Amino acid sequence: MRLNCNINGSQYSLVVNSDKPLSLILKEQIITFGENSQCLGASCGNCIVLINGNAALSCLVPAFKINGASILTFEGFQKTRFCHDIERAYSDVGNQPCPQCYASKTIIIESILNKVDKENQNRVSGFQFGAGSNSDMNHVSGANTNEQAARSRIGTGSISSELITREMALSSCQCIETAELEKIINLAYKYRSRRRARRS
Amino acid sequence: MPEGLRSPTVFTPKTVSEAIANKLKNPDAKFWAGGTYIMSRPNFYPNPNQRDIISLAGITDLTRIYHADRYLEAGAMVTLQQLLTMGNFIFSKELYKAISDIGSSVIRNQATVGGSLCTSDTRYAMSCILATLNAQAEIRMVSKTAIARWVPVAKLYDRKGNFLFADNAILTKVRIPTDASQQFQFIARTLDSPMQNPNEAVLFGLQYSLTQGNITLPSLCITLPNSCFYMSQDFDNLLSTISFPITAEKIYKVSNRLASDLRVSVRQNTNQLQIERAVRLLEVVLNEINTSYLAG
């Protein structure tokens, strides 16, 4: 089948098998992609990419689902300002993932930050009321939260360790401790929120 | 494109009837929900015998969630993440946690309710959780006349964990009871990752009610991925004879019975560690219930 997609900002028109995994397509288009991914669908987490802004394991995405999609691999993500927040957090904490899982862990962190951001936006806009004990965030709660007050609180709390452990379980590499990862993610979240506050 | 490899035709029906018509015209085609299970098979690609694909992603009827007083009805193409977001305010804390433990949000965004129930190795915890909760699934048979029926999730599999409606039906909706949380207690445990380590993982679910120290209306489900889907009325009856406080001998007797039942149910070449883990999980859960009973 013929498919058109955008990979790291470049437009591609490809003729591929409709069931070919995205990871193999990317390996052919981007030489450095997925060097550490040999799991062939066993969810090792090393082939993670952003498809239309959402993190997905490229070995589990068939070609027919990416027609018209915008795909960002770590190589493309590295050039964005969002990656700099995470890299800055790595250097501030003084620890970073090993070269084997650096790309995948960075994208997973980005997906956590996106998820938390989205939850916050929903809560502030009043789409979700009465965040209870099930909430992944341990801040910004309450049914009748004043929008301005909620906005001011975003970025001042911390992301729950339960959420971080659950999301990071996708990467099987144990090169970095969970406590360190928590610090990194919370710092990156803080930088991201500050950047957003400055812009708004 | 590799030589000798055929590119499967992808059908994109807009309604369930259209999907069934596609299947009737192409009996070899397979239904495609999220694709997480199909694509994680070791021989998925390249495969010269690849079948055509009927993608269910375009059927809007299958992406709806409906909440009534007593149940939540989710279409088969609702992702686990959507179910979780909706369930945040409806499900009990234990159920919410059990669904969120299935995988990270990256997996949950892609895996669908229907797809996770229609796998032949019961690798997802959804089948175990929903069978324990006595959830029902709507099955549309692939035939020229529209035949739909509601089937308890527990009846979708045989004892070895094989999905019984593999090629002749579409699972369209799942109805999850939400009123049981006031009357019943629900415990779900997962040992090891069923996705990454299916030959050692164990999924355990127990729903019960405790009345004057007696377990009433228990519903136990244990799934060993690649090996067994265990749910037995006889064993549930045995559990209902338990009264708390329970002695160590009684726990030993019950767990021994489970071990012998599981040995009969599992497929050949099953890892003995899985059976051992399932038995120990039951002991741990019974001890936990005992402790909380004694603590009042």
pLDDT band at residue A44, thresholds of 50, 70 and 90? confident
Sheet strand arrangement including B202-211? B185-191, B202-211, B214-224, B228-230
Q: What percent of chain A has pLDDT over 90?
A: 20
Q: A157 vs A140, A181, A186, B190, CA distance in Å?
A: 8, 16, 9, 30
What is the structure's pLDDT at A151?
A: 45
> How close B93 comes to chain A (CA, Å)?
7
Asked whether this complex has an ipTM greater than 0.85, the answer is no
CA atoms within a 13 Å half-sphere pointing along the CA-CB vector of B120: 9
A139: left (phi over 0), alpha (psi -120 to 50) or beta: beta
Q: Does domain B60-177 have CATH number 3.30.465.10?
A: yes
Q: Which residue has the higher pLDDT, B175 or A150?
A: B175
Question: With an 8 Å Cβ cutoff, are A166 and B104 in contact?
Answer: yes
Chain A nearest C-alpha distance from B144 (Å): 28
- Edge to edge, the sheet with strand A54-57 lists A10-15, A2-7, A70-72, A48-51, A54-57
With an 8 Å Cβ cutoff, is A56 touching chain B? Answer: yes
**Is residue B218 within a helix (H) or strand (E), and if so which, with residue range?**
strand B214-224
What is the reported pLDDT for B42? 72
- According to the model, what pLDDT value does residue A146 have? 44
Chain B residues in contact with A60 by the CB 8 A cut-off are: 35-36, 39-40, 110
Please indicate whether, in this complex, the C-beta atoms of A18 and B88 are within 8 angstroms of each other: no
pLDDT at B195 (0 to 100): 75
Whether A12 contacts chain B with CB within 8 A: no
Q: Count Cβ neighbours within 10 Å for each residue of B169-188 and write b for 16 or more, e otherwise.
A: bbbbbbbbbbebbeebbbbb
Copy the structure tokens of residue B147.
């035949």
Measure the N-to-C terminal CA separation of chain A; round to a whole number of Å: 44
Nearest of B56, B32, B55 to residue B44 by alpha carbon = B32
Locate the chain A residue with the closest alpha carbon to B39.
Answer: A60
* pLDDT greater than 50 at residue A149: no
Domains in chain A (CATH in brackets) are 2-77 (3.10.20.30), 81-199 (no CATH)
Where chain B has pLDDT below 70, the residues are 1-4, 122-123, 181
Span A99-130, pLDDT tens digits: 888 888 999 999 899 888 887 777 666 544 44
Domain positions in chain B are 10-55, 60-177, 184-294
Name the residue type at position A57.
L
Whether the pTM exceeds 0.95: the reply is no
Three-state secondary structure call for residue B290 = helix
For residue B38, the one-letter residue type is: I
Q: Which residues from B are below 8 Å from A when comparing CB atoms?
A: 1-2, 5-10, 35-36, 39-42, 44-46, 50, 53, 55, 57, 88-89, 91, 93, 96, 100-101, 103-107, 109-110, 193, 195-196
pLDDT digit string (tens) for A155-188?
456 788 888 888 888 887 888 888 899 999 999 9
- Binary contact (A169, B7; C-beta < 8 A): no
Instruction: Reply yes or no on whether the pLDDT at A145 is more than 60.
Output: no
Residues 6+ apart with CB under 8 A from B153: B117, B127, B130, B131, B134, B135, B136, B137, B174
Let me know the angle formed at the C-alpha of B118 by A168 and B36, rounded to the nearest 5 degrees: 35
Class of CATH domain B184-294: alpha beta
State how far the Cα of A52 lies from the Cα of A29, in Å rounded to an integer. Answer: 18
